[in-house]
Amino acid sequence: MLEQKLSALREKRVLRYMIDFFEGDLYPVLYALLALVCSFTGFELAFFSVSAAIAVFTTIFCRDTKSMFVPLVLVIYCVSQRHTPQPPYNSGYLYRASFLIAAGCLLGIVFAAMIFRMIACKGTGNVFRARTKLRWGLLALAAALLLNGVFYVEYTFKNLLCGAALALSFVWFYIYFYNTLEWTEKTAGYVARLLVLASAVILIQLGKVYIFDGAVSGGSINKGALVLGWGMSNNIGGMLAMFMPAPFYLAYRHRFGAAYYLFGFVVFAGVVLTLSRTSVLVAAVALLAGMIILSVKGRHVRFVRICNVLLVAALAVLAVIFSERLGQLFRHYLERGFDDTGRYEIWENGVRNFLRAPVFGVGFFTPIAPDWSYGIENWLFPDMYHNTYVQMLASCGVFGVAAYTFHIVQGLILVFRRPTPERIFFFFVIAILSGMSMADNHLFHVFPALVYSALLALCEKDGEAVYGKPKEDPPVSEDAARHSGSPAETGENASAENSSETEK
């Protein structure tokens, strides 16, 4: 009944125009521009309010829920430097009670609208009944995160809150998009263009830091100056690296793929400028893979081959001519090299903490070592181990490691069973995030996990488009119906008796 009423409302002229706009290609561009402007002006709360209103409208009225990807990917980039809690700005704005209450209410309204959509509308799937490829692995991972540190002697309520936030971030958009998203041949391109937009926003913000904020001092890049409203240098490099597969996917599919291919190298240059060694290393591997794949397959093979040769030659010439200047500019890389920056010691402490509580771990809020901390000012998250497996081992124990491994295996089977370019694209985004998280903490920051969750749903949708929808679990099994005397059984018996009477 509600779905029919919503369908009737969609036919109203004004609503139809609004729906067409929010389902079109102009909306993401305008939203990205608005986020960029807000990141320079500091109107975060106003932007969050507009975003919540858009999210509620599109969730309830749009035929396809792909428009929810726009705020999901872009909303975080509206946070301004003037309001970041990180040094040298040290603002307390985002931690004010008034801001937190307002933001929490807006988030609650959007969450309620999404639940309403899944209840009121039939949708395109039902993750709770369909035998999806990733369901059990994700549920096991969520359970492990929720149970982090349980039964440990120093367990605190903070562990439950942190575990619940992480568990929800890993599963929520997987559930929502699997249930509501209408998968078409254009969906992957829409998401890829959105990631390209996000990369462009980040690059402009990074450019502003270099031009106006004194990122280069004494001929060298000052890593400490690379701070945006939403993250530090490693966060910036991680997001750019994570989104880098998008332009290469569009280079494979799009008629203007040559321009997207070149933009992919611009994104990689942005990663290099963040001085994030882990991001550069993982992104370089992904870049090389993209160069090789697109030089063999795609719509612009000849262009890619010529471009690869010219780019390598130009890089070699620049390295020879400007070797001294480049060495000074990127002195951070030369000085640090492959130094572990204390990671081995952190990982050793992670193993020690695991041995203190091997089944469910010691929880996220148990210190890595007694009386030790990273000392990051105004940081929301607990100290973490800079390695996903060590993190799961120490915080969630054997159960956590087993659940995460089970999830990874299910994901690899889904991606590489009759793979498509779309699933390979999603895989590269997820693989880059996961690869960086083997020496950093990106996966356990809520925003990357939300994008991770959404892309898993897209992998499921693309897989179903190739080898068909999975079977659904029946609401009540036949055996249960026979033993419980359910209405279904009563109806069948009555039908059989009527048939018998007729034969007589």
**pLDDT surpasses 60 at 492:** no
Count of domains forming the chain: 1
What local confidence, expressed as pLDDT, does residue 13 receive?
87
Asked if residues 394 and 401 have their Cβ atoms less than 8 Å apart, the reply is no
Q: 243, 275, 278, 226: which is closest to 386 by C-alpha?
A: 278
Q: Each residue of 336-375: pLDDT tens digit?
A: 888 888 899 999 999 999 999 999 999 999 999 887 777 6
Residue 414 is assigned to a structural domain of this protein: no
Q: 277, 224, 241: which is closest to 439 by C-alpha?
A: 277
What local confidence, expressed as pLDDT, does residue 473 receive?
61
What local confidence, expressed as pLDDT, does residue 503 receive?
43
Mean pLDDT of 483-498: 45
Residue 257 is assigned to a structural domain of this protein: no
Q: Each residue of 31-58: pLDDT tens digit?
A: 999 999 999 999 999 999 999 999 999 9
Asked if residues 340 and 137 have their Cβ atoms less than 8 Å apart, the reply is no
Residue 107 is assigned to a structural domain of this protein: yes
What local confidence, expressed as pLDDT, does residue 474 receive?
60
Residue 248 is assigned to a structural domain of this protein: no
Mean pLDDT of 205-234: 93
CA distance 421 to 295: 15
Q: Each residue of 283-342: pLDDT tens digit?
A: 999 999 999 999 999 889 999 999 999 999 999 999 999 998 999 999 989 888 888 888
Residue 175: both structure tokens together: 């559930």
Q: How far out from the chain centre does Cα 280 lie?
A: 19
Residue 67: both structure tokens together: 């428009």
What local confidence, expressed as pLDDT, does residue 339 receive?
83
Scanning the structure block, which residue is given the tokens 């597969």? Answer: 245
Q: Each residue of 403-444: pLDDT tens digit?
A: 999 999 999 999 999 999 999 999 999 999 999 999 998 999
Q: 353, 406, 339: which is closest to 383 by C-alpha?
A: 353
462-to-45, 190, 299, 414, 467 alpha-carbon distances in Å: 36, 14, 21, 10, 9
Q: Which residue has the higher pLDDT, 124 or 258?
A: 258
How are beta strands 220-221 and 216-217 bridged, if at all?
antiparallel
What local confidence, expressed as pLDDT, does residue 495 receive?
44
Q: With cut-offs at 50, 70 and 90, classify the pLDDT of residue 501.
A: very low
Could you list the residue range(s) of the whole structural domain that residue 9 is in?
A: 1-122
Q: 198, 203, 201: which is closest to 265 by C-alpha?
A: 203
Q: With cut-offs at 50, 70 and 90, classify the pLDDT of residue 121.
A: confident
CA distance 221 to 199: 21
CA distance 98 to 255: 48
CA distance 272 to 64: 37
Residue 503 is assigned to a structural domain of this protein: no
Residue 13 is assigned to a structural domain of this protein: yes
Residue 142: both structure tokens together: 């969520």
**pLDDT surpasses 60 at 160:** yes
Q: Each residue of 242-254: pLDDT tens digit?
A: 999 999 999 999 9
Buried b (16+ CB within 10 A) or exposed e, 128-166: eebebbbbebbbbbbebbbbbbbebeebeeebbebbeeb
Residue 53 is assigned to a structural domain of this protein: yes
Q: Each residue of 55-78: pLDDT tens digit?
A: 999 999 998 999 999 999 999 999
Does the predicted TM-score (pTM) go above 0.85?
A: yes
Q: With cut-offs at 50, 70 and 90, classify the pLDDT of residue 475.
A: low
Mean pLDDT of 160-181: 95
**Mean predicted lDDT score pLDDT of the chain:** 90
383 conformational bin, left if phi > 0, alpha if psi -120 to 50, beta if neither: beta
Residue 232 is assigned to a structural domain of this protein: no
